[in-house]
Amino acid sequence: MASQLTVRGLGKDLVREIHQTARDNGISLNKAALLLMRQGAGLSEDGTGAVAASLAKYIGSWSAAEGKRFREAVRELDQVDGGFWK
């Protein structure tokens, strides 16, 4: 199995996404392309699935104030309605 591959016909939108991913993550275009291909195939470097990998960029992205507002907004979801459990 070859470890090198030439891919043609990427399209401007995909090339833009590869460049953006490289810039956002401070990685080479090659690494960005590999990252996007692995995610698209449902694979990732750490063994998690594509969904987990795609959400990783949001971890730690909220400010303390945003986190507090979110916790306040969902606080009532922690309450159990005992009537539904009988």
Rounded CA-CA distance 52/70 in Å is 21
The tens digit of pLDDT for each residue in 14-46 reads 999 999 999 998 999 999 999 898 888 877 666
- Predicted confidence at residue 39, as pLDDT, reads 82
The number of distinct structural domains making up the chain is: 1
Cβ atoms 50, 43 nearer than 8 A = yes
In a domain, 16, yes or no: yes
- DSSP secondary structure letters along the chain: --S--------HHHHHHHHHHHHHHT--HHHHHHHHHHHHTT--TTS--HHHHHHGGGTT-S-HHHHHHHHHHHGGGG---GGGG-
In a domain, 6, yes or no: no
- The residue range of the domain holding 69 is 12-79
In a domain, 26, yes or no: yes
In a domain, 4, yes or no: no
In a domain, 66, yes or no: yes
In a domain, 75, yes or no: yes
The pTM is what? 0.51
